[in-house]
């Protein structure tokens, strides 16, 4: 499994993965906005696997390789081109709301998810670390913020215990279904 910066060619597969894994979904143009504005801040975890009719080298002609998206027979990934599939992503941005109270440059994790069969392998932590580092290095982010459902044990474990995020506030009924969110924050420091 490879982790690399996300490109505009990945956004459809990222959106598919998001639809699969989370109830908070975004329009494709919002993914595009992230990738065009802060290309360093979003990452994908990808892999190649043997799928009937996909992995055959001899059949790989130009036209097939250009096919942007193919369906996933197993329903647990989002193919972007022949054989390469996205199994996880992190969508990150810098805070750019002119109304935002805090003018300190800081990043925000919009969305993170890993396909079910690829969980508990450390992928989410790696994706997060790459994004946090890039926000700090490329955009001078001094901290990064995010929201997470109070009931999301896996994500809370990752943010609080693995990455040392702190809960800053509880935002009542933050989600459409009425669930509260923890607003979390991590100070970023570039090592000297």
Q: How far is CA 102 from the centre of its chain?
A: 24
Which one of 8-16, 48-56, 79-87, 117-125 is the stretch in contact with ligand ACO (CB under 6 A)? 117-125
Is 183 one of the binding residues for ligand ACO (CB under 6 A)? no
Q: Would you give the binding string for ligand ACO spanning residues 66-105, x where CB under 6 A is met?
A: ----------------------------------------
Contact assessment for residue 49 and residue 84, using Cβ atoms and an 8 Å cutoff: no
Report CA-CA distances (Å) from 84 to 60, 97, 189: 13, 35, 34
> Is 125 among the residues that bind ligand ACO (CB under 6 A)?
yes
Q: Is 109 in the site for ligand ACO (CB under 6 A)?
A: yes
The SS3 assignment for 184 reads strand
* Contact present, 90 and 128 (Cβ < 8 Å): yes
156 within 8 A of 165, measured Cβ to Cβ: no
Q: How far is the CB of 138 from ligand ACO (least distance, A)?
A: 20
Could you tell me how many residues of this chain bind ligand ACO (CB under 6 A)?
Answer: 24
Q: How far is the CB of 87 from ligand ACO (least distance, A)?
A: 9
User: What is d(CA 151, CA 123) in angstroms, rounded to the nearest whole number?
Assistant: 21
Binding site for ligand ACO (CB under 6 A): 21-22, 109, 111-114, 119-125, 146, 148, 152-155, 157-158, 161-162
């Amino acid at each position: 499994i490879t982790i690399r910066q996300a490109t505009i060619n990945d956004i459809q597969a990222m959106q598919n993965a998001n639809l699969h894994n989370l109830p908070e979904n975004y329009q494709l143009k919002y993914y595009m906005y992230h990738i065009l504005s802060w290309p360093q801040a979003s990452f994908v975890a990808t892999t190649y696997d043997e799928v009937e009719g996909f992995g055959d080298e001899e059949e790989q002609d130009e036209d097939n390789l250009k096919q942007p998206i193919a369906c996933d027979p197993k329903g647990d990934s989002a193919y972007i081109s022949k054989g390469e599939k996205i199994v996880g992503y992190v969508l990150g941005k810098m805070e750019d709301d002119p109304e935002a109270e805090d003018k300190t440059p800081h990043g925000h994790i919009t969305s993170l998810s890993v396909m079910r069969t690829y969980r508990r392998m450390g992928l989410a932590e790696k994706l997060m670390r790459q994004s946090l580092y890039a926000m700090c290095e490329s955009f001078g982010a001094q901290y990064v913020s995010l929201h997470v459902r109070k009931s999301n044990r896996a994500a809370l474990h990752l943010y609080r215990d693995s990455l040392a995020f702190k809960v800053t506030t509880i935002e009542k009924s933050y989600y459409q279904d009425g669930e509260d969110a923890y607003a979390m924050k991590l100070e970023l420091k570039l090592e000297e």
